[in-house]
Amino acid sequence: MEQPIRILIVEDNVIIADDMQSMLEEIGYEIVDNVIVYEQAVEVLKAKTVDLVLIDIILASDKTGIDLGKHIRDKYNIPFIFVTSNSDRATVENAKTVKPNGYLVKPFEQQDLYTSIEIALSGFNYNEKAKGSKVSDSEEEEENHMSNAVLKDSIFVKKQHLYYRIQFEDIQYIKADNVYLEVHTVDKKFLVRSPLKDYLGKLPQNKFYRAHKSYIVNVDHINAINSKDIMINNKLIPISKDFKEFIISAMNS
């Protein structure tokens, strides 16, 4: 099931914040919350699922947006973009210390906001761990389990103006079509620009297999098989000899 990108806005000018929220909702993003100070943002990040944060550098509190950026880098593995009126060298150099995923100078248009978010999302590595204190083996094992459940149970796929989070279990098969891949779910198709082999590396190895030179399939969605094809959602998909032998072996084990 596709899920719109969830954004937290941290901006102490309520007029600007409301304008940003209207722009984002018009595009199709989901606004998790709209807060004005560091402390409120920290609480929202604890309580809710956030995919990206938009942060004003100067906030109505002792702690700044740069402090919040550092907190996100230390505690979470999500992208954030600084949205600020300040573009002087000192501010930019200070902002760079927390490695933001974007820097947007006010005033800006809806398209500027959209472009910054899309670039930040497309270039972000959700598999990296946030920095933090050392943990025990059991805590690390639990953290890895939660990472698999929360961060690695899905993949971002672009459709029109948005990146959607698609659960791995909802992907039925992927077809190579020239320079693009067609990612098929039960009722939708998404286009991705990627080599088939590279995309396979992003998917769970125990569910997704290269069934043919042009296809990756989710074995949980196979409905039927014959000597040359498998059937997924009433579509016949050609299979290689090696994949046929693999499926038959799995069926007989």
Distance between CA atoms of residues 124 and 74, nearest Å = 16
- Which residues neighbour 157 within 8 Å (Cβ) at sequence distance 6 or greater? 163, 164, 166, 183, 190, 192
Q: List the one residue out of 71, 157, 152, 79 whose CA is nearest residue 117.
A: 79
Same fold, 6-122 and 171-252: no
- Which residues neighbour 113 within 8 Å (Cβ) at sequence distance 6 or greater? 20, 23, 24, 104
To which CATH superfamily is domain 6-122 assigned?
Response regulator (3.40.50.2300)
Domain edges within the chain: 6-122, 171-252
Residue 29: CB atoms within 10 Å: 22
What pLDDT shows up at residue 165?
77
Distance between CA atoms of residues 167 and 71, nearest Å = 28
- At position 17, the amino acid (one-letter code) is A
What pLDDT shows up at residue 142?
41
Return averaged pLDDT per consecutive 10 residues of the chain, 253 residues in all: 82 92 91 95 95 93 93 94 87 90 90 88 67 48 38 67 80 88 89 84 88 94 91 93 86 68
CATH entry, 171-252, from 3.90.550.10, 2.40.50.1020, 2.40.40.20, 1.10.240.10: 2.40.50.1020
Residue 60: CB atoms within 10 Å: 11
